Structure 1
Amino acid sequence: MQQRKLGKDGPEVGAIGLGCMSFAGAYGKISEAEAHRVLAAALDLGVTHLDTALIYGGGVSESYIGSFIKDHPNRFTIATKAGIVTKPERRFDNTEAYLRESLEGSLKRLGVDHVDLFYIHRRQQDIPIEDVMATMVKFKEEGKIGGIGLSEIAPYTLRRAAKVHPVMAVQNEYSLWTRLPELGLLQACAELGTAFVAFSSVGRGIFSNRMPVIEELPENDFRRNNPRFMEPNYSLNKAIVSRFNEYANSQGMSPATMANAWVLQKGEHVIAIPGTRSPEHLAENAKAADIVLTEAQLAEIDRLLPVGFAYGDRYSDTQTIGPERYC
């Protein structure tokens, strides 16, 4: 698989990674054995970057990864995240004490003494980012993390943070129907030598030959309360996206493959981490790393899915608390 660097001085990883929120049941139940089958397929496909987080099942995702890598050590570059507190109510905590406690728990569940990349999952706005970075630098100096990451941030936060210490990666949502990073964040990452890690690069499953059937989703599925998957928006979105999906198939690739290839072509510093519970879907995602879309294909994609085509916001009012807004 094509390799890309996690930051200017970071390790090389496959251009397509694996987002492991799916291991926590966010899109339906998955057993440890099923998660292990996906991880085994990742090794076969050259998918070497795993992205997880403390809140993914309260550590379930990390535990599934930990039990797998116990028998497959040193095969993956692993990132995890902390900073979101879910109980008794949702809030954000970027204090050193909480981040340290979270990191220690993640290391224990993963069965390692070091993670390659550690993200602030969401900003706590009343703590200056400079202070948060100072905490992260401590973790790096202690050998607990290899690099510092920030998630769902604005370009101005990245620029402030980078003055304290280089930021290895920024992780924000980016796909054919979520284009905000093009308004400054992709550019700031390239300028500062920071990898841009795109999550939900297949639009939470809409760029696929089997678009989600809302009535069939589990009650706790994230998409049930997401504006783009609620009516009347969802029917309108499906009608538009179906034309793209048909076009991808006509070009000899799945919609997921084409959607991921489009993301990767937005810069050499871009890495995509689509999530899945299926080895077959993982293989579709991985194919994107070896595809270069032609100018004609890119033009047709722009015609079918023009900027801003999606009906509905990417998050509801409740879901949007935490990500930094800009532009």
Structure 2
Amino acid sequence: MQTRRLGTQGADVSALGIGAMSFAEFYGPTTDENSYAILDAAMDAGVTHIDTSNVYGMGRSETAIGAYLKSRGQAARDHFVIATKAGISKDADGNRKFDNSLDHFEAELDKSLERMGIDCVDLFYMHRYDASRPIEDVAEALAALVKKGKTKAIGLSEIAPSTLRRAAAVHPIAAVQSEYSLATRAPELGLLQACADLGTAFVAFSPVGRSFLTDDPIPVSRVSDLGFLKSNPRFQQPNYDYNIAATKPFRALAADMGMPAASLAIAWTLHKGDHVLPIPGTRSTAHFAELVQGANAVLSDSDMARIEDVLPVGWAHGDRYNAGQWVGPERYC
């Protein structure tokens, strides 16, 4: 497994990571034992990067990771580089809000450390930006956690290139996380470039297009049972059917190239920059093997051209978020 670095001063990690939102039933039912099987497979494959958050299943994802580390011992803790996040909260009425204060970050990180049974995380992100607070103040709050020894590095999620540059002027930003795949290419309009300029890793979530870029897309019959997807524009009709049809040639191309569609989607993402690190999530060890296959694949320039010929920029039907889901992520183009 090839490795890449989390920022200029961060840890070396496997080019492929694990998005542990799937450990919290975001895309369907799972068990802790199933999550352990994914982590066992990761250890066998040399995958070292785990990405989670305090709000994934309201702590369930972190609790599963902590139980796994406890059951497997020090070898597992030494193997994995762990990232988590905070910054999403609720007001007195239960409505979602964003809190980028040091008090919130530290209190939530302390809970995360307790759930995972560790003393320090390798990377701690601001999960969503509270734009009423200067990003310089947010960077200082995150940097304070480095000084306290509770995280080794800091990151930002779903932010604009200009925001990244301002934050990086205060403290090195090891990683920026945002959605990026053949289905969502907005980061190419400045964010990938800003990360490269600053030596910041770009961590790509949903790199297989929330299943559209696989051989087994989530069937429309299941969408209504999935809280996020049932109101997501790309999974609502008629967009769902359009997107299934639009990605059919990609699945055929992957088969022609001798690999599963998910493998090809991961290989494409990794080919977009040496600082790009995809973190797909999965509840299936068979699907995880496809993701690992993609991380080990080598694509030529002609391969990339063939891929982008069948899925050119802008092919997807529907926005990546609905109006409510867009509250928090920064738009910059």
User: TM-score, structure 2 length as denominator?
Assistant: 0.96
Q: Secondary structure at the match of 2:77?
A: coil
2:136 alignment partner, one of 112, 116, 130: 130
Question: Higher mean Cα deviation, 54-63 or 208-217?
Answer: 208-217
CA distance in 1, matches of 2:182, 2:148: 39
Specify the alignment match of 1:287 in structure 2.
293
Contact 2:223 2:235 in 1 (8 A): no
CA distance in 2, matches of 1:218, 1:112: 37
Specify the alignment match of 2:193 in structure 1.
187
Q: Secondary structure at the match of 1:33?
A: helix
**Post-superposition offset of 1:263:** 0.6
Q: Deviations over 1:173-201 (max 9, x none)?
A: 00001000000000000000000000000
Give the 5 Å matches for 1:143-292.
143-217=149-223, 219-292=225-298
Specify the alignment match of 1:89 in structure 2.
95
Q: Deviations over 1:48-77 (max 9, x none)?
A: 100000110000000000011122321100
Question: Higher mean Cα deviation, 198-207 or 78-87?
Answer: 78-87
Q: Deviations over 1:253-310 (max 9, x none)?
A: 1111100111111110110000001111111111122212122211111111110111
Question: Higher mean Cα deviation, 294-303 or 211-220?
Answer: 211-220
**Residues 218 and 282 of structure 1, relative CA distance in 2, 3 Å threshold:** farther
**Post-superposition offset of 1:218:** 6.0
Contact 1:121 1:151 in 2 (8 A): yes
Equivalent AA in structure 2 for residue 184 of structure 1: G
2:120 alignment partner, one of 86, 105, 114: 114
**Post-superposition offset of 1:33:** 1.0
Q: Deviations over 1:97-129 (max 9, x none)?
A: 111110000000010010000000000111111
Q: How many residues align?
A: 327
Specify the alignment match of 2:2 in structure 1.
2
2:3 matched to 1:15?
no
Contact 1:254 1:284 in 2 (8 A): yes
Equivalent AA in structure 2 for residue 228 of structure 1: R
User: TM-score, structure 1 length as denominator?
Assistant: 0.98
Contact 1:15 1:271 in 2 (8 A): yes
Equivalent AA in structure 2 for residue 14 of structure 1: S
Q: Secondary structure at the match of 2:316?
A: coil
Contact 1:147 1:168 in 2 (8 A): yes
Contact 2:154 2:175 in 1 (8 A): yes
Specify the alignment match of 2:29 in structure 1.
29
Q: Deviations over 1:208-232 (max 9, x none)?
A: 1111112134623421111011111
CA distance in 2, matches of 1:220, 1:271: 26
2:53 matched to 1:53?
yes
CA distance in 1, matches of 2:204, 2:122: 17
Equivalent AA in structure 2 for residue 2 of structure 1: Q
Runs (4+) of structure 1 exceeding 6 A deviation are: none
Q: Secondary structure at the match of 1:74?
A: helix
Q: Deviations over 1:147-194 (max 9, x none)?
A: 010000000010000000110000000000100000000000000000
Contact 2:20 2:51 in 1 (8 A): yes
Question: Higher mean Cα deviation, 86-95 or 134-143?
Answer: 86-95
CA distance in 2, matches of 1:208, 1:143: 40
**Post-superposition offset of 1:45:** 1.1
Q: Deviations over 1:133-160 (max 9, x none)?
A: 1111110011100101000000001000
CA distance in 2, matches of 1:216, 1:311: 19
Unpaired runs of at least 5, structure 1: none
Equivalent AA in structure 2 for residue 79 of structure 1: A
2:77 alignment partner, one of 73, 76, 87: 73
CA distance in 1, matches of 2:134, 2:289: 41
Specify the alignment match of 1:41 in structure 2.
41
Equivalent AA in structure 1 for residue 233 of structure 2: P
CA distance in 1, matches of 2:251, 2:124: 35
Question: Higher mean Cα deviation, 64-73 or 166-175?
Answer: 64-73
RMSD of aligned residue pairs (Cα, Å): 1.0
Q: Identity across aligned pairs (percent)? A: 51
2:304 matched to 1:298?
yes
Specify the alignment match of 2:109 in structure 1.
103
